[in-house]
Structure 1
Amino acid sequence: MTPTERIGDRRAELYVRETLPAPAARQRARLRDRLRAFEAEGRVDGFDVFDCPKRIRCENPADVDARDRYLAFTRWARERGLSLAPPFQTRECYAMDTGEKSEWLVFPAISLAVYDDGDLVAVYPHADGETYRSVADGLSALAGADDDDSAEDTEPAPITTAD
């Protein structure tokens, strides 16, 4: 199946950290515009842009939705022999409210998830061994061809529904 073929409703979800410096905020606007163009072209049936926390506690997270999303992403990666690290990672961080160090899950500044007929079929960024696939690669895969807007020199990973 080619990157543009699909069996059902294709949706994209763009997750962006709640607080970003100006250059990254401009990047978010560009990504939103590209997804809007993909929707107009019929490459996706719809998309959403969500705020994402910078980090959440591993133990008793306040943002359960972010934790559940991370668990779904890691399950997707594990089933395919891929890795979400280092963009998604756990590290010991200082907690301002308790004054103690604890394990936190840190999210990338920008991530992209693609769903086909309700099933998670792609997460960006991710790594396949030494090959890194960025959000730009994910957008190139949605476009169905190499994209001049992509800063990556790698071939985009195809988005397919086959396991």
Structure 2
Amino acid sequence: MNSRTRATLYLRDSVPAAARAEQQKAVGRLQSLQAAGVVDSVTIESWPSRVTNGTPDTIQALATYDSFDSWARDHGASMRPAFDRHECHSRFTGSRFTTTVFPVMCLAVFENDTLTAVYPHARQGRPMTVLEGIAILESTRRPELARH
């Protein structure tokens, strides 16, 4: 069976110019990897800066976060500090809710349909950025090496 490597880059829309430039750099590098045959497909997705549990429009973003968090736990990594999940309280309504904050960009690498890497993440206190994840892909055709 032929292995298919695909990358999905998640980007926040409303970001400062410097962050937008980093996002575009990441997009260009991933498109070059696709053109070179290192990855079979590249998808660019937009996501929110933060979501609150319990609202219908957040279901997909939270499902994505949960799959990334599961990957991190299974691989001895943490999605913090790039992702932040915290409890909030509204003094106005008295309600409590959970808010998840998403990073400016995030790279998910899949081998066939299996999530093999997520950037950014941290392992043993050392952060691994999206650009480092792309560099790992650039340095090898073997996706298993991208599982840092």
**TM-score bucket of the superposed structures, by smaller chain:** 0.7 to 0.9
Deviation, structure 1 residue 100: 5.8
Q: Distance in 1 between matches of 2:21 and 2:95?
A: 35
Superposed CA offset, 1:11-36 (max 9, x none):
00000112111111122111111111
Tell me which residue corresponds to 1:53. Answer: 48
AA in 1 matched with 2:145: P
Map 1:1-163 to 2 at 5 A.
8-60=3-55, 62-93=57-88, 102-144=97-139, 158-160=145-147
Q: Distance in 2 between matches of 1:49 and 1:61?
A: 22
Q: Distance in 1 between matches of 2:56 and 2:9?
A: 21
Contact kept? 1:61, 1:67, Cα under 8 Å: no
Detail structure 1 runs of 4+ shifted over 4 Å in the superposition: 92-95, 98-101
The count of aligned residue pairs is: 142
Q: Distance in 2 between matches of 1:78 and 1:61?
A: 26
Deviation, structure 1 residue 142: 0.5
Q: Distance in 1 between matches of 2:88 and 2:115?
A: 30
**Which structure 2 segments of 5+ residues have no match?**
none
Q: Distance in 2 between matches of 1:134 and 1:61?
A: 30
Deviation, structure 1 residue 59: 3.5
AA in 1 matched with 2:108: A
Q: Distance in 1 between matches of 2:20 and 2:116?
A: 26
- RMSD of equivalent CA atoms: 2.3
Deviation, structure 1 residue 158: 3.1
Q: Distance in 2 between matches of 1:58 and 1:87?
A: 18
Residues 59 and 89 (structure 1 numbering): CA distance in 2 closer, same or farther, change over 3 Å? Answer: same
Superposed CA offset, 1:122-150 (max 9, x none):
000011112111101100111016xxxxx
Classify the secondary structure of the residue corresponding to 2:146. Answer: coil
**Which structure 1 segments of 5+ residues have no match?**
1-6, 146-156
TM-score (norm. length: structure 2):
0.86
Query: What is the percentage of aligned positions where both structures have the same residue?
Result: 33
> Which structure is higher in helix share?
2
Superposed CA offset, 1:1-60 (max 9, x none):
xxxxxx611000000112111111122111111111001111101101111110111344
